[in-house]
Chains A and B, each alone.
Chain A
Amino acid sequence: MQEQVNEKISLLIDDELQSDKALSLLRALGQDEALKQRLQRYQLISQVLKNDNCYVLDSNFADKIHQQISYEPTFMLPGKKSSMMSFNWQKAGLALAASITLAVVWVAYRVDSQKTPYAIQPAIATNMQQPNNVVPLNPHFNDYLQAHDNAVYSSDLYRVQPYARVVGYQQQ
């Protein structure tokens, strides 16, 4: 058992240990002074072989940093959202937008089919007041405009935009 742990330390310093195993080993190292010292000796051997010089780390090197870090504020950055989550949100958003569009189109269609353009004339007429100082449009001129401008005026109201414009195709 101990030998397996030691072998993992050897793999860790060579970056050959899988990350999940390395994480659990590092946790064990944090709690076991003997293991931590073994890691330091392995690192020292590696350093001497690579560079032909050496220095021995203070045994409490990491502890000093740990102490200083304990006075530092803790980060609370939001974690990364998983791609699956963001994908679902996108889909839900699109579905909602499509539903609203469909509902609006359907309602508009129903209103169109149930009411004639002229049915809303009284409502508009009652809601809007006719300006007093405007000269009424000549009825003949209005007929002319209807015949030649391809527009159907919603009422006799003055300065009111036509509520619908019709296409003059095959117009009699």
Chain B
Amino acid sequence: MNEQTNHSEDLDQDLVRRVQQGDKSAFDLLVIKYQHRIVHLVNRYVKDAHEAQDVAQDTFIKAYRALADFRGESAFYTWLYRIAINTAKNYLLSRTRRHSEFELEIQDAEQVENALQLKDMDTPEDQLMNEQIVEVIKLAIEKLPEEMRIAITLREFEGMSYEEIAEAMDCPIGTVRSRIFRAREAIDEKLQPLLN
């Protein structure tokens, strides 16, 4: 187990213990930490972005309710990951059932099929927005100074730890930390106006 995993798991264990001892605000911190990963995970099953967020919210609520039984035998995220997948699958099952019932009511099968397809897609506005975001981020990456681009690429594409990047780039770990942060700042500068 590497150092970065240790940091994360220590923090999670601490937060879980606090929740189990009555500190609900500690759970908010777990939500802030994992919200993006969980929504992204659920989004692999539930294609609609808004529904995916609802399912992700359900995941966190279920996790909170089950937290009394969490004994820390696996990492918190692994445990949360399993809850997310089960919640997403159950959601899809119940949606299929709902559609089957609906199908009985209307005879036009083609109409139902179209409705299902539409359900799986974002609105045209959402799609356009998402495409723009991806474009802006890619463009911003291309314009980064080479050292920053390499550092953030190794981190995000290759999933390397800071220590491994420092070794690969033959520089101190503090420099890696700074390069990755500066890269994010530069990309964020381009992204922020779009989101506002």
Contact = CB atoms under 8 A, between A and B. Distances in A.
Interface in A25-45: 26-27, 29-30, 36, 38-45
Nearest to B20: A77
A86 B50 CA distance: 50
Given A54-B134, A69-B24, A6 B185 contact: yes
A96 interface: no
A171 B181 CA distance: 95
A53 B137 CA distance: 11
Interface in B6-43: 7-8, 10-11, 14-15, 17, 19-22, 24-25, 27-29, 31-33, 35-36, 39-40, 43
Q: Is the interface of B mostly helix, strand, loop or mixed?
A: helix
A18 B138 CA distance: 30
Nearest to B12: A19
A29 B30 CA distance: 12
Contact of B134 (A12, A52, A77): A52
A48 B57 CA distance: 22
Q: Is the interface of A mostly helix, strand, loop or mixed?
A: helix
A72 B22 CA distance: 11
A41 B21 contact: no
B7 A19 contact: yes
B185 to A, nearest CB: 7
Interface stretch (A55-63, A100-108, A128-136): A55-63
Given A26-B33, A41-B188, A75-B22, A19 B10 contact: yes
B39 A15 contact: no
Contact of B157 (A6, A23, A30, A49): A49
B137 A10 contact: no
Interface stretch (B58-66, B83-91, B93-101, B105-113): B58-66
B29 A26 contact: yes
Interface string A118-141: 000000000000000000000000
Given A22-B11, A23-B14, A76-B22, A68 B57 contact: yes
A61 B138 CA distance: 26
Interface residues of B, number: 63
B35 to A, nearest CB: 6
Range for the number of chain A residues in contact with chain B: 35 or more
B153 to A, nearest CB: 8
A36 B40 CA distance: 18
Contact of B133 (A19, A30, A54): A54
A148 interface: no
A161 interface: no
Given A19-B14, A65-B57, A72 B64 contact: yes
Interface of B: 4-5, 7-8, 10-11, 14-15, 17, 19-22, 24-25, 27-29, 31-33, 35-36, 39-40, 43, 49, 52-53, 56-57, 60-61, 64-65, 67-68, 122, 129-130, 133-134, 137-138, 141, 152-153, 155-157, 161-162, 177-178, 180-181, 184-185, 187-188, 191-192, 195
Given A22-B7, A42-B188, A79-B21, 9 more contacts: A7-B178, A23-B11, A47-B36, A48-B134, A50-B156, A54-B133, A65-B57, A69-B24, A69-B61
